[in-house]
Amino acid sequence: MYDIFIKTHFAGAHHLRNYPGDCENPHGHNWKVDVTVRATKLDECGMGIDFKVLKKVVKEVIDKLDHHDLNELPYFQEVNPSSEHISEFIFAQVKSLLSSDRYSLFSVTVMETDTQGLTYYGK
C-alpha cells in the first residue's frame, strides 16, 4: 500500500458558538491541511494517484473555505466550525470528487497552529 499526501493551507475566520472562553469571539486562523490518499495499486505510470490530480481536487475544496467566515457557510450553520468539523467537511468534499479502484481517501489532518491539530479518518 502507498499513502500519498499533499499539504496545503487556508486562512479563515470563525467563532465557536456556546464555547466558554475567548474562542466564542470572532477570530481567525491560518489552518494547515494534509490530505492523504491510500493506494492499493499503481497505474501504468507507476503512480497511486498523480499529485497534480490530488492537488486540483483538494484546491477545489479548500477554495470554499479560504478567506471566508466559516460560520456563514451553509455546512457550518448547524455545527460549529471547529477543526474537527472542518476536517469532516474537507474529507466528505474530497471523497465525493475522487473515485478509483486503485485508491481512496484515507485521512485529513487539520492544524490550527504548528503545535496543535487533529487527523480525521472518515466514517
Whether 23 sits among the annotated catalytic residues: the reply is yes
pLDDT for 123 equals: 78
pLDDT digits (tens, 9 = 90+) for 54-95: 999 999 999 999 999 999 999 999 999 999 999 999 999 999
Domain that holds residue 109: 2-120
Residue found under cell 494547515: 32
pLDDT digits (tens, 9 = 90+) for 26-42: 999 999 999 999 999 99
- 15 carries an active-site annotation: no
**Mean pLDDT (the chain, rounded):** 96
Q: How many domains does the chain have?
A: 1
Mean pLDDT of 106-114: 96
Residue linked to cell 471566508? 68
Is the predicted pLDDT of residue 99 greater than 90, yes or no? no
User: Would you state the pLDDT for residue 15?
Assistant: 96
- Helix segments in 6-50, DSSP class H: none
pLDDT at 25 over 90: yes
Catalytic one of 9, 24, 60, 67: 67
Q: Cα 54 to chain center, whole Å?
A: 12
Mean pLDDT over 92-112 rounds to: 96
Contacts of residue 26, defined as CB under 8 A and 6 or more positions apart, other chains included, come to: 13, 14, 15, 69
The question of whether 84 is a catalytic residue gets the answer no
Q: Give the model's confidence band at 117: pLDDT under 50 very low, under 70 low, under 90 confident, else very high.
A: very high
> Is the alpha carbon torsion for 46, 48, 49, 51 positive or negative?
negative
Give me the CATH number covering residue 83.
Answer: 3.30.479.10
